[in-house]
């Protein structure tokens, strides 16, 4: 079901965004994200990108929860893979806030993929947008070497997580937006931290990293 998003002026959008961000956002970042917001509001009238349940809290629930991941991004990260990108959260938000990242957005549904193309173009963000379903074997077009994988609206099983882990560098990370349940992990991955999301007792970002060699007792 589609929903109308609040009409926000550039000043209102920036004030709300800066209040939610864990670090000051540059004018270029704010401008790119406002352009994304305008495109999102336009498309959401006909395509269900943001449902009516969270349309009124789009800044805190969607932009804020995406920006919350900024402190979790490895300093040397370059290649980022955002799975199930949908409305662009967190992929487009992270691309705007971290221009050094090369972000690939993955979306299986064609209309949402079309939105991502339009939104990235309007925001002048050089994101790659792939209309593929993430499954085994991994689809053609994914980077062979990945520094960061993000998934906010997609549940990933241990086999798929294992395949993605096989493309991570030694300092690579996976960030999963999820509730209280613990992810089922392959032997190659282990928890590397978590971050509680503001305004919720259950929602959090779970950080996964490559499992190190076992130490002999």
CATH of residue 135's domain is 3.40.50.150
In a domain, 5, yes or no: no
- In this predicted structure, what is the pLDDT of residue 101? 98
Closest to 40 in 3D by CA, of 118, 127, 126? 118
Average pLDDT, integer, range 11-23: 97
In a domain, 217, yes or no: no
Mean confidence (pLDDT) of the chain: 94
Residue 141 has pLDDT above 50, yes or no: yes
In a domain, 117, yes or no: yes
In a domain, 2, yes or no: no
Q: What is the pLDDT of residues 123-137, one digit of tens each?
A: 999 999 999 999 999
In a domain, 54, yes or no: yes
- In this predicted structure, what is the pLDDT of residue 1? 58
Give the residue numbers spanning the domain of 159.
10-210
In a domain, 100, yes or no: yes
Q: What is the pLDDT of residues 105-124, one digit of tens each?
A: 999 999 999 999 999 999 99
Distance CA 3, CA 187 (A): 42
Q: How many domains does the chain have?
A: 1
Both tokens of 107, joined, read 């979306």
Confidence grade of residue 3 (pLDDT, cut at 50, 70, 90): confident
In a domain, 215, yes or no: no
- In this predicted structure, what is the pLDDT of residue 193? 96
In a domain, 135, yes or no: yes
- In this predicted structure, what is the pLDDT of residue 209? 97
Q: What is the pLDDT of residues 57-93, one digit of tens each?
A: 999 999 999 999 999 999 999 999 999 999 999 999 9
């Amino acid at each position: 079901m589609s929903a109308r998003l609040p009409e926000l002026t550039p000043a209102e959008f920036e004030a709300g965004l800066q209040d939610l961000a864990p670090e000051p956002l540059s004018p270029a970042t704010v401008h790119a994200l406002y352009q994304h917001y305008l495109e999102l509001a336009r498309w959401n009238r006909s395509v269900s990108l943001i449902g009516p349940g969270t349309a009124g809290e789009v800044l805190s629930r969607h932009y804020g929860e995406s920006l919350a991941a900024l402190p979790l991004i490895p300093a040397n990260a370059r290649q980022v893979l955002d799975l199930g990108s949908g409305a662009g959260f967190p992929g487009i938000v992270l691309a705007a806030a971290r221009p050094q990242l090369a972000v690939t957005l993955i979306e299986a549904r064609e209309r949402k993929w079309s939105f991502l193309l339009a939104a990235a173009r309007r925001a002048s963000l050089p994101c790659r947008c792939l209309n593929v379903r993430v499954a085994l074997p991994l689809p053609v077009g994914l980077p062979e070497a990945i520094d960061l994988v993000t998934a906010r609206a997609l549940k990933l099983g241990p086999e798929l997580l294992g395949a993605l882990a096989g493309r991570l560098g030694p300092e690579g990370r996976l960030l999963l937006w999820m509730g209280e349940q613990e992810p089922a992990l392959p032997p190659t991955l282990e928890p590397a931290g978590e971050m509680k999301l503001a305004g919720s007792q259950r929602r959090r970002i779970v950080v996964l990293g490559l499992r190190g060699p076992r130490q002999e007792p």
